[in-house]
Amino acid sequence: MSPSAANPATPATDSEKPASALHLAVALDGTGWHPASWREPVARPRALFTARYWADLVTEAEHGLLDFVTLEDGLGPQSSHFLDPDDRTDQVRGRLDAVLVASRVAPLTRHIGLVPTVVATHTEPFHISKAIATLDYVSTGRAGLRVQITARPNEAAHFGRRTVERIDSYDPPVPPSVSDLFDEAADHVEVVRRLWDSWEDDAEIRDVATGRFIDRDKLHYIDFEGRHFSVKGPSITPRPPQGQPLVTALAHATVPYRLVARAADVGYVTPHDAGQARAIVAEIRAEQDAAGRSAEPLHVFGDLVVFLDDDPGAARARRERLDALAGEPYTSDALVFTGTSAELADLLQELQSAGLSGFRLRPAVAGHDLPAITRGLVPELQRRGAFRRAYEADTLRGLLGLARPANRYAAA
């Protein structure tokens, strides 16, 4: 734990709360986002498929008072190609299920949010709704999901229920088949949200004297009929502690920005400078208005890959060493930052001034760069009054300043 970070269980007083606080999350993927990260001495590749490995990472993130972690997932092995599998044996391949990892880690943590990735394209919303509702119960109100699509034909072949049209990229102009996948994801989220509301908060009576466990009038059919799904409901899981766990999505262009605007509580975007950040935020706000959600809070987080060291030369040297092991320079959809905690804090505050409310940082090497975030960046931001010194809420929605929503089916 950072020596300057407060005890996570200690509430902050009003005078301690930062005036211009930003939100911080980390994206956890294997041993880190650099493909050669598993070869670093701190990487622990032999522990990668153990619960302890993931518990250690999430606990470290919680010691840094971060808002939440996201856990990457997919429906096929990782690949160095965008839409095809590869035959490489020098990079991490294979994953544990992100929702199950989050459920295993949840009882070992107390405050940090847990946001596993779910792939809407081949996963039924009924299954996802009860899985994330269960995670919200297991974590006592700290669950979310990151909704994702897949246009990989090899992943569609795992299920045999549909084919996916071959495309070359998601870049504009977006093929109609990809736009359709994003529309499907928006419907997927809508079904999930309705299922979370299909039990009213007081549907469970549990009255031994009268023998009534539930009030059947407070369970509701959602009767969703759309182009992609037909779901009657209700859920089999009572309404989650948060009412609506957090919904998040990564977006790079107009069509996925529209998904964020229609369906998400947090959108992750990938600007490379403040000007791009300002333009992206403006586009998402316009889409949010068009979707009739302008009155609803929506956080826009910037994604960055980080190589953090006490000396900028050490960070550059480490990146170059990893690139040499990988056989090529590392590139990413997101801005790749290489430098010190103070330099990163400067950049985050510059991007925050362009309209971003938080950041999801991707540690290049989880064993090195995650502690550099929690023990270096966080204290630096705290010194600037830009980050909390204690957890200030008991739920993930509370950490992000999001109210618990009313149930759409409950009588006024």
Question: HEC profile for 182-247?
Answer: HHHHHHHHHHHHHHHCCECCCCEEEECCCCEEECHHHECCCCEECCCCEECCCCCCCCCCCCCCEE
Q: In this structure, is residue 284 part of a structural domain?
A: no
Q: Report the chain's mean pLDDT, rounded to a whole number.
A: 93
pLDDT band at 411 (very low <50, low <70, confident <90, very high): confident
Q: The CATH number of the domain where 66 resides is what?
A: 3.20.20.30
Phi, psi torsion values for 213, nearest 5 degrees? -90, -40
What does 317-365 look like in DSSP terms, one character per residue? Answer: HHHHHHHHHHTS----SSEEEEE-HHHHHHHHHHHHTTT--EEEEEESS
Query: Is 16 within the bounds of a domain?
Result: no
What is the mean predicted confidence (pLDDT) over 281-286? 98
Amino acid 157: pLDDT: 86
When pLDDT is averaged across residues 299-311 and rounded to a whole number, the result is 97
Annotated binding site for FMN: 73, 117
Give the pTM: 0.93
pLDDT attached to residue 254: 94
With beta carbons less than 8 A apart as the criterion, state whether 351 and 22 touch. Answer: no
Considering the domain boundaries, does residue 196 fall inside one? no
Contact indicator for 188, 125 with CB cutoff of 8 Å: yes
Total number of domains in the chain: 1
**What is the percentage of the chain residues whose pLDDT exceeds 70?**
95
CB atoms within 10 A of CB 180: 16
pLDDT digits (tens, 9 = 90+) for 86-105: 999 999 999 999 999 999 99
Asked whether residue 283 is assigned to any structural domain, the reply reads no
| DSSP per-residue string spanning 65-81 | T-SEEEE---SS---SS
Residues annotated in a binding site? 73, 117
pLDDT at 275 > cutoff 70: yes
pLDDT at 257 over 60: yes
Residues 6+ positions from 186 with CB-CB distance below 8 Å: 258, 259, 262, 263
Instruction: Examine residue 299 and state whether it is found in any structural domain, yes or no.
Output: yes
Per-residue pLDDT at 173: 80
- The phi and psi torsions of 308 (rounded to 5 degrees) equal -110, 130
Residue 412 pLDDT class (50, 70, 90 cuts): low
pLDDT of residue 13: 40
Tens digit of each residue's pLDDT (9 = 90 or more) over 56-76: 999 999 999 999 999 999 999
* pLDDT > 90 in the chain, percent: 86
205, part of any domain: no
- Whether 290 shows a pLDDT value over 70: the answer reads yes
- What residues make up the domain containing 393? 21-151+240-278+293-399
Domain annotation covers residue 157: no
Residue 386 lies in a domain: yes
DSSP state for residue 46 in the 8-state scheme = G
